[in-house]
Amino acid sequence: MNRREFLGSSVAAAVALALTQGRALAQATPVAGAIEAVTADGAKKAIEASALKQLKASLRGALILPGEPGYDISRRVMNLSIDRHPALVVRPSGVADIRTAVNFASENDLLLAVKCGGHSFSGKSTCEGGMQIDLSTFRGVHVDPAQRVARVCGGSLLGELDHEALAFGLVTTAGTVSHTGVGGLTLGGGFGRLARRFGLALDNLRAVELVSADGRLLRASGDENSDLFWAVRGGGGNFGIVTAFEFNLHPMQREVIGGDLVFPLKRARELLKFYAEQSLAAPDELYLDAVMDAPMGGKDGNFVLHACYSGPASKADAVLAPLRKLGKPIVDTVKAVDYAAIQRSWDQTDARNTGEYLKSGFIDDLGDDLVRKLLDGFQADESRGTSVFFQHAGGAISRIARDATAFPHRPATHNMFAVVSFPLDSDPTPHVKYIKDYWSTVEGHTNGYYTNEVADEAQHFVDENYQGNFARLQQIKTQYDPKNRFRLNANVKPLAG
């Protein structure tokens, strides 16, 4: 589950127009002079005006410098407490622009960030003083219904994939928030409402095309550059910028049964135990999440159970019967619903006008000891918001070998998160300390964490999180990115040369 701001159709149209106008204005803006940038190792570097002019002239998309139209749209990510300022932004129109940008960053040894949907809560898709490649103008989905394959441009959002595939009665696992970037979600794993039935997003990949650190365009699949194909499925953005994804699609009816049941927070102990039992007993077609939430401002907290059942309609009542025995909820939105609509249903769960810090970990047992610790340390405070939530795993995800892809966390039954939110104008220090201290009481029940939620962990924790796949990942990283150009991620450092 994510906490993301949804841009409704009218707002999305306005943003799209702003992006288009911003690109045109940026291209028309002359380069005024040299700029100061930051190298991959943090050193200061001057980039001369002549080099910038040459870069601008070589792009069909936009080169955007600080103060120019569109700069603030690009540099910002969803977590508004992240406030970083790249020295230059490239908004590519296609693969040629991406290769040009990567080559320019390499030639100038620039710190490099890649942004798709901007959902990295720790801000890995933006940077201070380096180059940002913003893929927001590089989107598109083409579906081949006969082959049941979707080809997706690297900057596309999950809602675009759902929309195009469902037009042919087809689906694939595509997260839980429609404005998440396909690239970031898929390369780190790709949970979603259909993952227990069809596997992670990365399990549905059949091929990728990728611009590597040396500017080459490579295709990777089971038959071509198979080592690279193995690595990108769970190794995140460590190996290059994926310009195209090819997904296997699956037939599915548009109408599913799903929604939220909202109960008072005071029932949390009972409902956590219920969730532990029912989520483990669920068929693959049932996706069930739980949220324990104490909002900012001292409002009454809630416990939410979120369901999505995508199996045969004739079995829905029996599968969902245990939920109906919990008593009358405060809110009940569980009903027959279009799958695309339920995929958008969490898009407004966080207005993103606050700061945020998050910890996550995989668990394979939501037992009594963990429940007790979760409840004992959970504190409502009107100065901040606190949430603990569980994303349903297991099912088809767990039936793939841990070394079949670079994603090793197959045995997990749930992905557990603890999140604190706070006003942007407040000091984040006490709020971040609270959630870190709280997490320390439950972390012993986890086994690794979701690489898409990497934050400020020490390097050895990042390495250990890849578990038995780390050594192979490091070898492949050394082959494809020996200078660690792509480092703003759950970074796999190359072997020393």
Q: Give pLDDT, residue 114.
A: 98
Q: Give pLDDT, residue 454.
A: 87
Token pair 């942004």 is found at 115
Question: Could you tell me the pLDDT band of residue 27, with boundaries at 50, 70 and 90?
Answer: low
405: tokens are 């892809």
Cα(361)–Cα(378) distance, integer angstroms: 17
Query: Quick one: angle between helices 429-442 and 368-377, nearest 10?
Result: 160
User: Percentage of the chain surpassing pLDDT 90?
Assistant: 86
| Nearest-5° Cα angle at 100, 96 to 103 | 140
Q: Give pLDDT, residue 121.
A: 84
Cα-based torsion angle of the residue sequence 446, 449, 453, 456 in order, rounded to the nearest 10 degrees: 80
CA distances from 379 to 202, 340, 373, 455, 468 (A): 36, 35, 12, 23, 37
Decide: 486 and 213 in contact? Cβ < 8 Å. Answer: yes
The β-bridge relationship of strands 44-47 and 205-211 is: unpaired
83: tokens are 């406030």
> Is domain 255-453 in CATH 3.40.462.20, yes or no?
yes
DSSP 178: T
Query: What does the pLDDT average to over 135-164?
Result: 98
> Is domain 9-137 in CATH 3.90.1170.50, yes or no?
no
The SS3 assignment for 395 reads helix
Query: What does the pLDDT average to over 188-214?
Result: 98
DSSP H helices, 360-451, are 368-377, 429-442
Res 388 pLDDT > 60: yes
Cα(303)–Cα(280) distance, integer angstroms: 19
Which among 387, 453, 385 is positioned nearest to 423, based on CA atoms? 385
Question: Could you tell me the pLDDT band of residue 26, with boundaries at 50, 70 and 90?
Answer: very low
> Is domain 141-252 in CATH 3.30.465.10, yes or no?
yes
Q: What is the pLDDT of residues 313-341, one digit of tens each?
A: 999 999 999 999 999 999 999 999 999 99
Res 15 pLDDT > 90: no
Query: Which amino acid is it at 390?
Result: F
Q: How far is CA 32 from its chain centroid? A: 36
User: Percentage of the chain surpassing pLDDT 70?
Assistant: 93
Token pair 């407004």 is found at 348
pLDDT top residue among 20 and 352:
352
Decide: 208 and 241 in contact? Cβ < 8 Å. Answer: no
Q: Give pLDDT, residue 352.
A: 56
What residue spans define the domains of the chain? Answer: 9-137, 141-252, 255-453
Min mean pLDDT across 226-240, 348-362, 397-411 is at 348-362
Res 66 pLDDT > 70: yes
Res 348 pLDDT > 90: no
CA distances from 232 to 107, 157, 385 (A): 24, 18, 35
The answer to whether the pTM exceeds 0.75 is: yes
Which among 425, 413, 409, 384 is positioned nearest to 490, based on CA atoms? 409
311: tokens are 């199996």
Q: What is the pLDDT of residues 204-224, one digit of tens each?
A: 999 999 999 999 999 999 999
The SS3 assignment for 31 reads coil
Output the DSSP codes for 294-345: E-TTSPPPEEEEEEEE-S-GGGHHHHHHHHHTS---SEE--EEEEHHHHHHT
Res 58 pLDDT > 60: yes
Mean residue pLDDT of the chain comes to 92
Cα(390)–Cα(77) distance, integer angstroms: 24
Q: How far is CA 142 from its chain centroid? A: 22
Res 17 pLDDT > 80: no
Res 455 pLDDT > 90: no
Query: Quick one: angle between helices 316-324 and 268-281, nearest 10?
Result: 160
Which among 460, 299, 458 is positioned nearest to 387, based on CA atoms? 299
Res 13 pLDDT > 70: no
Q: What is the pLDDT of residues 88-126, one digit of tens each?
A: 999 999 999 999 999 999 999 999 999 999 998 889 999
Q: Give pLDDT, residue 209.
A: 98
Sequence-separated (6 or more) residues with CB below 8 Å from residue 472: 230, 231, 406
